[in-house]
Structure 1
């Protein structure tokens, strides 16, 4: 069983039906597919698979809740894609906030 599990959604029918994919982050191999992306389903899966130390996930609240309930001692971290996305959004907000000041420097 994985020590570090990646959690993300996948489209069964884009825009209508989504599931959850679980990946062993250390081996980069899929571990399981869950039929939906509800927090209860993820929590139940995590509770059945003890020993998970890290849950790597996106910002979805249902994944955060499921991980908190199902693996309360696991550390939750952002995956690489969302970490970079968060950084980019923070940089955009900073630039937008300071744009008027930059115009005064001309």
Structure 2
């Protein structure tokens, strides 16, 4: 699949860090159908794309959804940067 043309979805086993499947698109229905065929999946680690959330909710309603580590650290960093920026005027220049 060529960047800018067609996007697929790579599914990875986070415990083994190995790809387990490649879905042909980035649609909630495709993710839901894939999960529905695998009822034993207990945890879905995903990014924040809304189609992943909807697909996981529909296809794996009992699975717990968690954010992946990259997104957690990125969100934390962005939140910390916003907080520090708001208080920058309060900081004194060392003398």
TM-score relative to the length of structure 2: 0.89
More strand by share: 1
Alignment match of 2:81 (pick from 85, 92, 98): 92
Superposition deviation, residue 100 in structure 1: 2.3
Segments of 4+ in structure 1 off by > 6 A?
Answer: none
Superposition deviation, residue 83 in structure 1: 1.0
Partner of 2:72: 83
Aligned length: 93
Superposition deviation, residue 98 in structure 1: 1.2
1:39-58 correspondence runs (5 A): 39-58=28-47
1:11-26 correspondence runs (5 A): 12-26=1-15
Runs of at least 5 residues in structure 2 that lack an aligned partner in the other structure: none
Partner of 1:30: 19
Three-state SS of the structure 2 residue aligned to 1:21 is strand
Partner of 1:6: none
Q: Name which one, 1 or 2, has greater alpha-carbon Rg.
A: 2
RMSD: 1.2
Superposition deviation, residue 16 in structure 1: 2.7
Q: Which has the higher contact order (CA 8 A, sep 6+)?
A: 1
